[in-house]
Amino acid sequence: MKKIAGIAFVPLLLLLACNNNGTETLTDKENYKKATETLLEKEKKTPIAFLKVNSHDKHNLFGQTVIKGSIDNNAKVCSYKDVQLQLSFFSKTGTLLEKSNETIYDVIAPGKSVDFKTKYFAPKGTDSVGIKVLAAKINQ
């Protein structure tokens, strides 16, 4: 009799386990959707936190400072466009000589990067250029 009760109990357990997984999958999907929406809102509110600029500069024969670089989008969901950069020109001693703004009119998908190149007649005595992201628009 105990054997029959044990045999009947195993299928009942399996049946309950299968039904329970179906509802957990639904809540897992809902939780994932909520987490994605929360992440999207965070990425929309603070694009500067997800964009990183790498650059280097050199001088050409015409006396211009040529700045080449890339903007990396570290966001998981959100694409950005029209990234505004601030260029700061420094002397050998680290004194700020001048600031200028530049906009990169391109779309940067999540996890991707965009290359850019710009030329400036930098102020006399410029030794280095610092670049930071000021703002970016959300690509809908």
pLDDT given at position 87: 95
The answer on 117 and 57 residing in a single domain is yes
The pLDDT tens digits along the chain (140 residues) read 555 545 555 555 555 555 544 454 568 777 776 776 677 888 889 999 999 999 998 988 888 899 999 999 999 999 999 999 999 999 999 999 999 999 999 999 999 999 999 999 999 988 899 999 999 999 87
| Domain extent for 85 | 47-138
- What CATH code is carried by the domain that includes residue 105? 2.60.40.3230
The answer on 71 and 125 residing in a single domain is yes
The answer on 125 and 84 residing in a single domain is yes
pLDDT given at position 73: 96
Tens of pLDDT, residue by residue over 79-119, are: 999 999 999 999 999 999 999 999 999 999 999 999 999 99
| CA 125 to the chain's CA centroid | 35
The number of distinct structural domains making up the chain is: 2
The answer on 130 and 73 residing in a single domain is yes
The answer on 73 and 25 residing in a single domain is no
pTM above 0.85, yes or no: no
The answer on 33 and 18 residing in a single domain is yes
The answer on 74 and 39 residing in a single domain is no
Percent of the chain predicted with pLDDT > 70: 78
